[in-house]
Structure 1
């Protein structure tokens, strides 16, 4: 039995993903304090919406999909109800495995996961790290569950702040680029709808090529860049304005902020 604690957007995305990949409604529980939201999820997915203590007693795996600021209170409430073999997976940003273990009694197996928002359309990227009492089989199980909303990679926990900066915050970087490209098209006389369609499909197609190709991104970029052509002129301007350095600095800033949040 799997219990999803928190029925927000990410919790619902995982719930829908699990059901779409073969889990039956009677294999999944949901705990959501908002009674209207709990009723909505129960009606939409035909799953049982139960109190926290019942989820903790019945489920072998708990996925904590709540806000980071609510985590300590929830862990303290959960602690006495967990079985010795329970696996706890947290998808709350900045919550370390050591914090999870500190507030859960006994040697509970915990997994820290960092998904991103494309999980809402089953195209997410999630990184996972295991705690001190977490074995390979439990990490494998966590990865299997999280693949319901996209791809998964296992990393040492010391890299989780970098993961947050690259893939956790990453969608915003691409939305920023898309916004800029669309506005440039509009400024040059295109309709907003046409510019958005061009930009959206271009980003989607480029991402597909990057995912499918064995070639390095530099090789793919050079394949588009004819000597003396339009792309070469554009890339020259990007380099002149220090866009590469700005992106690197932005990612480093996001990593540092993630570290600050992790440290409380």
Structure 2
């Protein structure tokens, strides 16, 4: 299967800092002062390159009442390929993604093709007690799922690392979107939220890592929880085990089922495999 590069987005360290009022992504660093000083001194490594629409987008038609059974219409599935560089930032963080909040009804699935990454995820339930921070180490071939409406960030433990992902959205967003859909799925809102970034970071510790939460985030979320890929995803993966094949050849029914199942991840705190009490 041939992956293409229709749009290449490169992120350097300086891109995390506002170059003009209201621009630039929001990000929290373990040592913001050290990172800012390094950029001011001219350090500007490339952290990753993202090939947007590495596989052609596809649309699944609404079934049984529409997307999620709520009549939202057809679903657009997009596929990106991100190549992360290996390295360590001032302050001890591995090279990383920007980190952002997903829309409230978006399912996102990742598969690592090469290297080793740490996926950090946080759900912040402002109306209840289901807030949590989870983490998952992923090597080549392994899958990770981001719950609806969650914040997530990728750290590169062993790089370079190549990560493929697919994600859902309203089909009309392909044509520019309308109203709430357009705002929720825009590039600007993806990296700039009224919530600001989750107050969670990871730093290297030998061949492993330490995860740190702000006092506010720890009070809301408790200790970080280790998770693995949910077993319900296995039943819908193709025999090859490749997410690329699921995107291209998976049935509309399989993708609709995954979208419905994906919402269950946000209903409660995950069952811990390990609790990282740091």
TM-score (norm 2): 0.26
**More contact order relative to length (CA 8 Å, sep ≥ 6):** 2
Higher strand share: 2
**TM-score w.r.t. length of structure 1:** 0.27
Larger Rg: 1
**Structure with more of its chain in helix, by fraction:** 1
